[in-house]
Structure 1
């Protein structure tokens, strides 16, 4: 039976925060390296930022960019944007060049809250709508024509919740999360409050509640982080915020913050399990965590660290249609349909359902409005491509058994996932093609020793060109986020193509790494995520 559509007080972020602050003002909600915030203090900081943003002209429904590292400023900016009626639109802090320009322009935002260390990346970009920069950190030179405001001024507004002429509803956009999971360019996924309400209900086991504390080490420009923050606010729990995941300090952080749950997505669990054993491994407060995909030795991991794990299949577009757990063993399944409300089918290329046990594409839908994403911002053609015959097409090949357990088989779309980041091969190829010695390039995924993918580029040199691999890496690193720069490179005379001249990437994936492949990491070229001083208070 379908649950009733939630009331505003049950789903809209500012309403949830106001209710928690009224009923439990002194309960801790957020812990960080610089201190801690109660629910009451969190609400006051949100209202103060909202008041400052309203003074800048932010109105209900406006998209407001947030380009900040994970930390309390990022949390306050998000809560303030939503309390002002705006749509939280975070950007990956690794964005630069054409990818950055396109995301900023696609949002049509006139206001950006930005860390001072990132401002210089805006130089030289053709930004058609951006007019105001709210700078977090020290004041730095800014692009001409931009109004500049200090974040300390904006975030010090009146600590009273602004009353909007048109209150936000569960079906309104809460956030736009940029993601790239196909061969196309990055897309802005419109997420309603109902979308995150559904995500929280499906992804987190009901055993996690008001007494639990979530260890948040994922960036707040990913749905996994915004979903966790939203869910633990809704359930009356708390979060411990750190800038990023670090294998060496993970368990020390968990202990000192008293974190009882967290996210061990993809390579994180492998890094922890491969770390040297310690006699106190199981002496920690974490009792449950998300793990996806499951480690082969999930049972050994759970026994070693004294915990359970759960898993969920989902995406920014689709809030957790499949759920598994809590468990202590890897069954191989990505879960069963989460409920209530989700429906799933395995279909062939004509959208006809295939027999039980046969591999096909997973398509899903939900019987509540606004439970799934509300479309791609400014990209109706992409909406049409994924919605067909009343179902959302995930692009993932799966099978389902007679008991309703779903098993992942392969990716139908040409996707790359590295270190919890989705990568568009088209965007990588476009930047590499800008090198004068490159005639053609094809970018594919190859297996990584860390459970996910590595990026590999096959390059056809231009006539008379002799590109050095180190030169190509430098060229790509100047234009792409660090995680998108290929690790593996190989020069070829030509790329395999169809009779209609499309590159046959399936053939390249079958070839994969060869003795002629150049590995930039083996050659000493390691790229790291840029670190920031978050200005946490």
Structure 2
């Protein structure tokens, strides 16, 4: 398939084709909507936003827990050609304000759970004009008397007819944030085509059909849930079991109860399942295949214990680059998709021969299949390109048959519990502590096959603090997964000739 269609029109077509089939079920409650009912909710929301906000909205920010309403909102925005700016709900402090305000979005969809964090950064979101609340509207009015506060239900119109967006499929549909390779998190501008190609290229390798049911417990602010799980399922008429967040204690019960047939294990989920006590439910399910990234448990051992098929690593992509390499059913080497070129390069940008490890560089053969740069950061966009190649910041190799193998990352990104963390933003939050002079963070091997964050700090003369005090301080200023697990106090920070913390020496401490 090579569809050229906007996401709003795609939902409309799927709803017409699969109207009465169950589409999404919320695992925690069992609430289920059909394809037809889901599009009706989406259309009511789209019409309501047009009436309330007019045609010049441009961007709308979202800080929410997973829900039927959140998913409907993402498609309603596409129908009225408003760019979705989805922010990780765990964000706090300066990164939260920056992500909301970067596009000058005038409207934020959120819930009472986030009001305290938003109140703490009120001065950092000056362009906000309205809050659409899932709940706690009265509390929002008390905390933000200068903003228009609207309850979500009040936004729903009676009209349920489809709105055809004037957008082209190569226009920006969504801005999702990635840590990129250096500095603050960057807003990747993703087109409708980016989303559709990602989903299309999940269907074949993962053998997705209308008879399938996918388990989707990851945040909708990530491409994993939105484009790897839900969209390919929607395109084939299958079922989605959506959760607010992954729960180890509920996993096997829910996949059995809802008849799940495939799922992805982002972050340390594979290791968590492997380390859990054996259960009769882990063999009585209907799951026929799964995929893990990373995959610390050997395939043969995992398959034997859990009575399933673990698709070998193979696949490769990122929010910036798109879904570039697809895995094979029974081979660890990935296949480069036909609308991408992938090259393994040396430090000077020269192509390396087959079998040699080097920097992974990617370029598209079709418009819109990669992120169209970083919003509001033309210099960062330019830095990420060299000789027309996007520099991923990752290390890989290609064999003589053209199969791709991802090896490891060389950037400042740190992978913690499935989240890609910007080391810069962790340092930024820690350094706001009045007792600290300097800070540098690095990644170290974690217990679940991923990484932990280790922070090295120096304290100002005449001041004192402790690791526990710094963790408590960080809790109010950054997402929980960003808080360093380890703190090391130094008398002096080792530095490079240009004055930067010398992280190579820190890693040896």
2:159 counterpart residue number: 158
Deviation at 1:280, TM superposition (A): 4.0
Please give the TM-score of this superposition, normalised by the length of structure 1.
Answer: 0.89
1:31 counterpart residue number: 25
1:534 counterpart residue number: none
Deviation at 1:61, TM superposition (A): 7.4
1:260 counterpart residue number: 261
Whole-Å separation in 1 of the counterparts to 2:125 and 2:485: 31
1:73 counterpart residue number: 69
Tell whether the 8 Å contact from 1:309 to 1:325 is kept in structure 2 after alignment: no
Whole-Å separation in 2 of the counterparts to 1:145 and 1:285: 52
Where 1:397 maps in the other structure, the secondary structure is strand
Tell whether the 8 Å contact from 1:63 to 1:86 is kept in structure 2 after alignment: yes
Where 1:125 maps in the other structure, the secondary structure is helix
* Deviates most, 373-382 or 318-327: 318-327
Cα deviation code 1:302-336 (max 9, x no counterpart): 12222223342111112221222323xxx6x4x32
Residue in structure 1 matching 2:329, options 322, 326, 340: 326
- Structure 2: which 5+ residue stretches go unaligned? none
Does the alignment pair 1:185 with 2:184? yes
Where 1:392 maps in the other structure, the secondary structure is strand
* Deviates most, 255-264 or 292-301: 292-301
2:218 counterpart residue number: 218
Does the alignment pair 1:375 with 2:373? yes
Cα deviation code 1:7-62 (max 9, x no counterpart): 32xxx221112112222211111112242111110110000111111112253771
1:515 counterpart residue number: none
Residue in structure 1 matching 2:317, options 299, 314, 317: 314
Deviation at 1:375, TM superposition (A): 1.2
Where 1:470 maps in the other structure, the secondary structure is helix
Tell whether the 8 Å contact from 1:77 to 1:113 is kept in structure 2 after alignment: no
Cα deviation code 1:111-153 (max 9, x no counterpart): 1111122123222333232101111113213323211111011
Tell whether the 8 Å contact from 2:252 to 2:281 is kept in structure 1 after alignment: no
Tell whether the 8 Å contact from 1:66 to 1:78 is kept in structure 2 after alignment: no
Equivalent positions of 1:504-515 (< 5 A) are 504-511=502-509
Deviation at 1:409, TM superposition (A): 3.2
2:419 counterpart residue number: 421
Tell whether the 8 Å contact from 1:177 to 1:189 is kept in structure 2 after alignment: yes
* Deviates most, 124-133 or 187-196: 124-133
Equivalent positions of 1:301-450 (< 5 A) are 301-310=302-311, 311=313, 312-327=315-330, 333=332, 335-450=333-448
Cα deviation code 1:222-274 (max 9, x no counterpart): 11111022221122222111111111110111111111111112300110111
Where 2:328 maps in the other structure, the secondary structure is strand
* Deviates most, 277-286 or 437-446: 277-286
1:517 counterpart residue number: none
Residue in structure 1 matching 2:4, options 4, 7, 10: 7
Where 1:103 maps in the other structure, the secondary structure is helix
Deviation at 1:296, TM superposition (A): 3.5
- Equivalences, count: 498
Where 1:317 maps in the other structure, the secondary structure is coil
Cα deviation code 1:253-301 (max 9, x no counterpart): 1111111111112300110111111244221011112211223422111
Deviation at 1:156, TM superposition (A): 4.3
Point out the structure with the larger helix share.
Answer: 2
Where 1:207 maps in the other structure, the secondary structure is coil
Residue 102 to residue 382, structure 1, CA distance change in 2 (3 Å): same
Residue 45 to residue 305, structure 1, CA distance change in 2 (3 Å): same
Whole-Å separation in 2 of the counterparts to 1:206 and 1:481: 32
2:170 counterpart residue number: 171
Deviation at 1:94, TM superposition (A): 1.1
RMSD: 1.7
Where 1:426 maps in the other structure, the secondary structure is helix
Please give the TM-score of this superposition, normalised by the length of structure 2.
Answer: 0.94
Whole-Å separation in 2 of the counterparts to 1:197 and 1:112: 26
Where 1:509 maps in the other structure, the secondary structure is helix
Whole-Å separation in 2 of the counterparts to 1:339 and 1:469: 46
Equivalent positions of 1:18-57 (< 5 A) are 18-32=12-26, 33-57=29-53
Deviation at 1:407, TM superposition (A): 2.9
Residue in structure 2 matching 1:95, options 80, 87, 91: 91
Whole-Å separation in 2 of the counterparts to 1:201 and 1:14: 16
Cα deviation code 1:70-121 (max 9, x no counterpart): 1112112212222222112111111122111111110211111111221232
